[in-house]
Amino acid sequence: MKNYDVVIIGAGASGLMCALTAGQRGRSILILDHTDRVGNKILVSGGGSCNFTNLYLDAEHYISGNPHFCKSALSRFSQYDFISLVEKYHVSYQERQLGQLFCNGNSVEILNFLLEECRLSGVKNLNRCTIKKIEKDNSFTVITNSEDYVTESLVIATGGLSMPTIGATGFGYEVAEQFGLKVQSRQPGLVPLTFSNDDLENYSDLSGISIDVDVSCNGQSFREALLFTHKGVSGPAVLQISNYWQPGEEVVINLLPNINLTETIKQWQKERPKMELKNLIGELLTRRVAHRWLELWYHNKPVNQYNEKEINEVADIFHVWRIRPSGTEGYKVAEVTRGGIDTDELSSKTFEARKMKGLYFIGEVVDVTGWLGGYNLQWAWSSGYCAGQFV
C-alpha cells in the first residue's frame, strides 16, 4: 500500500486544477484515471480550441439546486485567475462572441500548462487505472487493478456522464451513494433536441439551415443561432435552452426576433403590394424556411390581399413557433450533465462532504451546470482550485 496526502480520482479539468493547487502547498498528490490519457474533455472542448472561460462570469449563468452555491468558488478563483495562468504560459487567445475566450491555437496548449504546473509541484499521475473499491477506516483506501492507495483526503473529480466514448462514467455518483450523500437526478445538458414524429416529417429536410432566433422555455430565453438537423434542432440557442427544458415541455421559438412582422407586412402592403408574402418573408428569413412555414401553416398570396386578422395570424406563426421535443440526442453528444451531487451535501468553501470528513467532490459531478460559453470549464477550474486549498 502507498500513502499520499491526497488521492484525486479523475484527471480532467477539475482534478488537474485541484492537483496543481494542492501540490503547490507541498501536499503529496496522486491522480488516478481509467483512460490512457489525461484531460480528454479539455482536448475536445471548444471544437479543439478550448473555450476556457468567459469574461461575463456570473452565478446567474449556472443552474443548480442551490443557485448561491457556486458564488464563493467563482469569486475565489475567477476568470481573471485562469486568464493569468493562460498568459503566464503565453497561450494566445481571443474573445469570440458573448465574452467567450478561446485559444487561437489548440486546446492541448491549455492541457500542457496544467500538466507542467502539476509536474512542477511533484504531482504523480497514473492512467489506465481501474478503481475497484473505496474503503473507509480512519483513512480512505482506494483499491485499484494495480496497487492500493491510502489517503486522508480523497477527491472525486470524475465529471459527468456526457461522452462515454472519451471516458465519462457515473463513478462519482456511485461513490456519493456509497457514503450516503444525496444525488440529484441527471439529464443530458447543452444537447440538441429531437423532433416529435410530426415535426420530423415537417422539418427534417431543412437540416443544415441556421437562423438567428430567440428561444424560450421555463422563463429563460436565449438569442443565438438555431440549426436545423435531420433529427431536430441544435445550435447555440438550442443547446443553451436544453439546460432549462424538461421532458414533455414546450419550447417557444421566435424566428424573426429583430422584426415586428405585423408592422413589416403593413409596410409591404404599401410599398410592394403585388409581391407574394412567402417571397417577402423569405428575404428576412431564409427562403426555404419562409416557404415551408406558409405551406404548412397558412395560405400564401400577394401581400396586399391579407386583412388585419390574417396579418396578425401570419406574424404569430413566425414569432411563436412552438415545438414539443420528443427528447434530446443524449449523453453521446451532450456537452454536460445536469444534476449530480446535491450541493447541500458539500461545503461551498472546501467542497468537502459534510457527512464524510476527507471526501471531496469537484467539477461537473456536482449539481452545478453552466451555460454554453466557457462556464463549465471555469466551474471545473474554480471548484478544483478551492478544494486544492484545503485537501
Does 388 bind ligand FAD (CB under 6 A)? Our answer is no
Rule CB under 6 A: say whether 285 interacts with ligand FAD.
no
Q: Collect all residues with Cβ–Cβ distance below 8 Å to 264 and sequence separation of at least 6.
A: 284
CA distance 344 to 348: 9
Nearer of residues 32 and 74 to ligand FAD, judged by Cβ = 32
The answer to whether residue 236 forms part of the interface with ligand FAD (CB under 6 A) is no
**SS3 state at 269:** helix
35 counts as binding ligand FAD under rule CB under 6 A: yes
CA atoms within 13 A on the CB side of 5: 16
Instruction: Restricting to residues 315-354, name those near ligand FAD by CB under 6 A.
Output: 335-336
Part of the chain binding ligand FAD (CB under 6 A), chosen from 134-142, 219-227, 237-245, 376-384: 376-384
Q: Which is nearer to ligand FAD, 121 or 158 (CB)?
A: 158
CA–CA distance, 302 with 309 (Å, rounded to integer): 16
Asked if 266 contacts 273 with a C-beta cutoff of 8 angstroms, the reply is: no
Contact 337, 161 (CB under 8 A): yes
Separation of CA 282 from chain center: 33
x/- map, 15-34, ligand FAD, by CB under 6 A: x----------------xxx
Number of residues in contact with ligand FAD under rule CB under 6 A: 38
- Cα separation, 73 vs 378, in Å, equals 10
Shortest Cβ 346–ligand FAD spacing (Å): 14
Query: Between residues 54 and 254, which has the closer beta carbon with respect to ligand FAD?
Result: 54
Looking at 78-192, which runs of residues are DSSP E strands? 93-95, 100-103, 124-126, 131-136, 140-144, 148-156, 183-189
Record the cell numbers describing residue 350, joined without a space: 472546501
The distance of closest approach from Cβ of residue 121 to ligand FAD in the complex, given in angstroms and rounded to an integer, is: 18
Q: Are 287 and 207 in contact (CB under 8 A)?
A: no
Contact (Cβ atoms closer than 8 angstroms) between residue 289 and residue 278 = no
If one asks whether residue 375 binds ligand FAD (CB under 6 A), the answer comes out as: yes
Among 101, 134, 163, 233, binds ligand FAD (CB under 6 A): 163
Q: How far apart are CA 220 and CA 196, in angstroms?
A: 22
Min. distance of Cβ 383 from ligand FAD in angstroms?
8
What x-and-dash track marks residues 103-132 binding ligand FAD by CB under 6 A? ----------------------------x-
Among residue numbers 38 through 97, which ones bind ligand FAD (CB under 6 A)?
Answer: 40-41, 44-46, 50-51
| 162 is an interface residue for ligand FAD by CB under 6 A | yes
Q: In terms of CB distance, is 23 or 374 closer to ligand FAD?
A: 374
Instruction: Rule CB under 6 A: say whether 359 interacts with ligand FAD.
Output: no
Tally of CB atoms within 10 A around 119: 13
Rule CB under 6 A: which residues touch ligand FAD? Answer: 9-15, 32-35, 40-41, 44-46, 50-51, 131, 157-159, 162-163, 167-169, 171, 335-336, 363-365, 374-377, 380
